[in-house]
Structure 1
C-alpha cells in the first residue's frame, strides 16, 4: 500500500497516538516494509516508540489485528506491543522501538548467525492457543500434498531482510502473517531470501540447517515445499510483473526448487 508521512495523517489520528505517547520530541518516517500505510520512529516525552498504521477500511487492517493478537506470545527478542488504538479512520499499533539495522543476508555477513539464533529462539517458543493461519491451508493452492505442511509450531513466514532488525541481537518484526506449521518452515522460507542475497542453494541450505527443525526435516518434505513455494512465487510474478523484488524472489524460489530436483528426491507436490 502507499505510505503516508506522519504529518499527513488526520489530526484525530495523530491525537489518538499522542494520548499514549505524549508529545513527540523528534520523529522520523520509515520507508521500508510493505504492510503499513504509515510507519514512524518517534522519540516522545514517555520514551521511544515505533508506530505503524493502516486505514480501518483497508482490507489489510486484519494484518495489524493479527500482530496485536499474537504479540503477547512472541519470543523475548521480538518488540513488545505497547498500545493499540484507533482514530481518524486509522488503526495504529505502538511498539517498543528497536533501533537496529536491516539484516544483511549476503554471504559472509555477521548477521547470519544472529538470524539463526532468532529462528532457534522462535522454534523454542510455545505456540499459543489462539486463532492462527495454517501453513497447510496457505500452500494448499500450490501443492497436491498440503498435509505435509501441517505442524504445531509458531511461524513468522516472512523472512524479508527488512523484517529482521539487528543490533547485538536479531529481532523478528512485522508479524502480519503469524502461522501454525512445522518447525522446518521458517528456515525453509529463509533459504529463498538467502539465495536472493547471493548464496548458492547448497550454502543457503547449510545456513538453514543450523536450525534444528530444518536439519531434522524429511528431505522429501523439503522438496515438496520448494516445489510449492516456487509455484506460489511464480503466481506472484505473473500478477505483478513490474515489481522487481517479486521477480527476483520468483527466480530465487525456482533456483531452490531446481536444486532440490537435482537431489533425486521424488515429490507429489
Structure 2
C-alpha cells in the first residue's frame, strides 16, 4: 500500500487514536495490508488493517475481531475497531515482549507450551460454531478427516513470531484464522515448527507431550494429521519454489512422518 492509500486509513482511526505522533510499520501480520505501532494522543496502539473488499483478508480480520473477547487472557486486548468503504481496522493494546525462540536449547519452550495449554482451556466462543477446521481435510487419507474434528478453540498459526515472550507472561498474537477442531491440532502444529527450528522429531514430540490435547489424542489421529500436514506443506512448497521457508516446513513435516512410521 502506498502512502496515498494509507492516508484514508489514518484519518479513519484518528477518532480512536487522537493525534498520531509516530507511525512505525511492523512486519507482523502477513495477512494484513497494514500493521503498525502508533504512538498517539490517546496512548500507544497496535493497528492492523486491510482494504475493505471481499476476500480472505477481510474475512480474517473480522474473525480476529470476533474471537478477541474470548482470548484476552492469552492475547492482547482489542481496544477498538473501525470501518468505512475503503478500510477495516483493529486497534490492539500494546504489549512489551519479543518473539519466542523455538530452538532446541531455548528457555522459552515452557512458556510456549503454557500458552498452548491456556488456549486449549478456553471456553469455545459461540462464534466458533461456524469455524470448523477444514484446511487439512483435502490432504487427509480416505475417511481420516473426521479425526480432526472437535470442540476445542484452535490457534493453528503457531510460529516464533506469534508467541511473544514478556518479562512476566507470554501471549499468542495474530489470531488471523481461529477455528474449532480436535485438541491435538495445536500441539501437532508446534511439533512441525520445532522440527523446522532444529529439534529432532523425538524432542518435538516431547514438548507436545506437555499438552493435554496431545496426551489425550488417539495415536491414529496424530498419524493421520502428520501425513496430511506433510502432503499440504509439500504442495505449498512445490507451488512456491523460491520460498525457502516453505521448503523448510515441508522437510520438517516429512521428517515427522518418517519418525512416526518407523
TM-score range, shorter chain: over 0.9
Q: CA RMSD in A?
A: 1.6
**2:126 aligned counterpart, secondary structure:** coil
Partner of 1:51: 47
Structure 1 CA distance, aligned partners of 2:100 and 2:90? 23
Kept in 1, the 8 Å contact 2:37–2:44? The answer is yes
Kept in 2, the 8 Å contact 1:81–1:93? The answer is yes
Partner of 2:165: 166
Kept in 2, the 8 Å contact 1:12–1:88? The answer is no
**1:252 aligned counterpart, secondary structure:** helix
**CA gap 1:222/1:40 in 2 versus in 1, 3 angstroms:** same
**2:260 aligned counterpart, secondary structure:** helix
Partner of 2:215: 215
Q: Structure 1 unaligned runs (5+)?
A: 263-269
**Aligned with residue 98 of structure 1, among 95, 98, 101:** 95
Deviations 1:116-159 (A, max 9, x none): 11111111100112144222x22220112111111000000110
**CA gap 1:248/1:8 in 2 versus in 1, 3 angstroms:** farther
**Aligned with residue 25 of structure 2, among 20, 25, 29:** 29
Structure 1 CA distance, aligned partners of 2:256 and 2:224? 11
Partner of 1:265: none
Structure 2 CA distance, aligned partners of 1:32 and 1:49? 14
Structure 1 CA distance, aligned partners of 2:81 and 2:28? 21
| Stretches (4+) displaced over 4 A | none
Give TM-score, length-normalised by structure 2.
Answer: 0.93
Kept in 1, the 8 Å contact 2:74–2:119? The answer is no
Structure 2 CA distance, aligned partners of 1:93 and 1:231? 34
**CA gap 1:88/1:113 in 2 versus in 1, 3 angstroms:** same
Q: Structure 2 unaligned runs (5+)?
A: none
**1:40 aligned counterpart, secondary structure:** strand
**Aligned with residue 139 of structure 1, among 119, 136, 139:** 136
Matched, 1:202 2:241: no
Give TM-score, length-normalised by structure 1.
Answer: 0.91
- The aligned runs of 1:1-269 (5 Å cut-off) are 4=1, 7=3, 9-57=5-53, 59=55, 60-87=57-84, 89-131=86-128, 132-135=130-133, 137-143=134-140, 144=142, 145-167=144-166, 168-262=168-262
